[in-house]
Chain A
């Protein structure tokens, strides 16, 4: 019995060590950094207490960034979770017979492509003069709508958000399809015989059954939106002005362009607090891990 116990630690230790050294240790360090005025080039650092956090509150760019993160989150939830769920339900419904695998595969494809490739593609789609989007708009006679999507501070953020939805809705749908397929066919069949319509079946049978996966999808989506950096960095770098600034991108700017390592760490902590609170809340809400009781 004792040997078995020690053995269990051998199984968890590789994962545990990697997570502690490369995830938790940096997080703790990041908290420490945030109390200092420090630079990436010099070993000198000066303790300045909560000064960085006070700057966070008064920095107008931070409120723009937080707002942008939440706008990003809102539309991602609508398209990736809402739209993705609908697509998954359609794909697994009796309405779709032919092309099920084809559509599912195709919708998933954008999410496997790296952000720099997608970025190159969409930079061209949004290009003001010869870009794909404006060419189509002019073709159908909507010339007045053809703007420089990424150069315009009113449209730039939404242009990037649209790109993300294009890329990740199919990914969310795929995760949900996998979950729906794990529901036993008898449950679905009997509910169908009981006269459940499409939406009734979705609401009372399928969604409760795939709750854990749905939680995963929501957490991924929310976290992704709160830490969005790659998309911004590749498309606009936060501009024009600070129109597409997000916390993740502002942190990068503060660290490498302004060389304010301590302040950047404070921004990092803000991202951490927001994502941890939102995820923990979501986990609790959905009751993930209740399956434990089944054992």
Chain B
């Protein structure tokens, strides 16, 4: 009986902690949303009040004043970079965990070592390198550095999943006459899907939000992605809060939708992770 009360008490305590944390996340987001639907007059009068009429024209104005362009740029840079990251890192991690070759240890160390390099350390030489390659101020100026800087971490993240695939599965596939590449694509990719999905999700978010490289390597607004674009947007509209907040909502929505959709996949994929033991 006593123990049961203890469990109840702990449960309530945990739910209180969780709820407080939840409110600190939800309320600011709610605040942005409600204020983005007000007029500036309402906004300055009382930021806590709800809007009297839902004022969607702010959104139209925000979309027209640049957000639409930043969207397309972000989408392009993210899709290409993440595709490159997933292909390169899974290929590399497959070779490192499943093949024997000369200088393997050194190559593995080089592949992982990039993880310790802070992007800041590379920003200035990259700026010069990209200019020499005539890539400065282009999509490639974001795609290549973004990809290269995420590879080491991705390999690190995928390593445990790839290393724990049972050898028998692989041998069976070899007996069935599968080539190496088929084993990688048809066996390892599906079996390690949960890990690959986590890797995909984390990189998707990372590249979508990437700020440092975009800030340093892009000078032309035509190539601005959302994070940098929003900064110039907020400088241009610093008194027009309601339009700025509409832009903020528009910038957040795709990531949130993407995340919620992925989350479902993510969670169901996790049960497949029992491959490990």
Contacts and interface: CB of A to CB of B under 8 A. Distances in A.
Given A11-B91, A291-B164, A294-B163, A5 B227 contact: no
A23 B121 CA distance: 9
A28 to B, nearest CB: 8
Contact of A18 (B101, B147, B163): B147
Given A4-B99, A227-B120, A40 B107 contact: no
A216 B157 contact: yes
B230 A120 contact: yes
Name which of A23, A111, A234, A279 has the most chain B CB atoms within 10 A of its CB.
Answer: A23
Nearest to B209: A114
A145 interface: no
Given A15-B151, A116-B234, A223-B118, A125 B102 contact: no
B99 A178 contact: no
Given A30-B122, A120-B244, A280-B116, A12 B92 contact: yes
A115 B255 contact: no
Interface in A235-274: 247-248, 251-252, 255, 261, 264-265, 268-269, 271-272
Contacts, number: 261
Report the interface size class on chain B.
35 or more
Report the interface size class on chain A.
35 or more
B205 A184 contact: no
Contacts of B99: 4-5, 7-8, 11
Given A11-B94, A230-B211, A292 B163 contact: yes
Nearest to B251: A117
Contacts of A109: 25, 29, 256, 259
Interface string A90-113: 100111100101010111111111
Contact of A182 (B259, B263, B276): B276
Contacts of A212: 160
A130 interface: yes
Given A114-B209, A121-B28, A275-B118, A21 B148 contact: yes
Contacts of B122: 22-23, 26-27, 30, 268
Q: Is the interface of B mostly helix, strand, loop or mixed?
A: helix
B175 interface: no
A181 B272 CA distance: 10
Contact of B111 (A19, A93, A255): A19
A16 B92 contact: yes
A264 B216 CA distance: 14
B109 to A, nearest CB: 11
B87 interface: yes
Contact of B101 (A5, A111, A223): A5
A48 to B, nearest CB: 16
Contact of A125 (B28, B152, B163): B28
Nearest to A28: B125
B14 to A, nearest CB: 5
B275 to A, nearest CB: 9
A105 B25 CA distance: 11
B117 A4 contact: no
Contact of A12 (B87, B95, B198, B263): B95
Contacts of A25: 125, 129
Given A116-B227, A229-B212, A264-B124, 9 more contacts: A114-B211, A117-B230, A120-B244, A120-B245, A132-B47, A135-B48, A170-B25, A178-B273, A227-B118
24 contacts: A5-B99, A8-B101, A14-B92, A16-B110, A16-B111, A18-B84, A22-B126, A23-B122, A24-B117, A29-B125, A87-B21, A101-B263, A107-B22, A115-B209, A117-B230, A117-B248, A182-B276, A229-B212, A271-B120, A271-B121, A275-B118, A276-B116, A276-B117, A291-B163
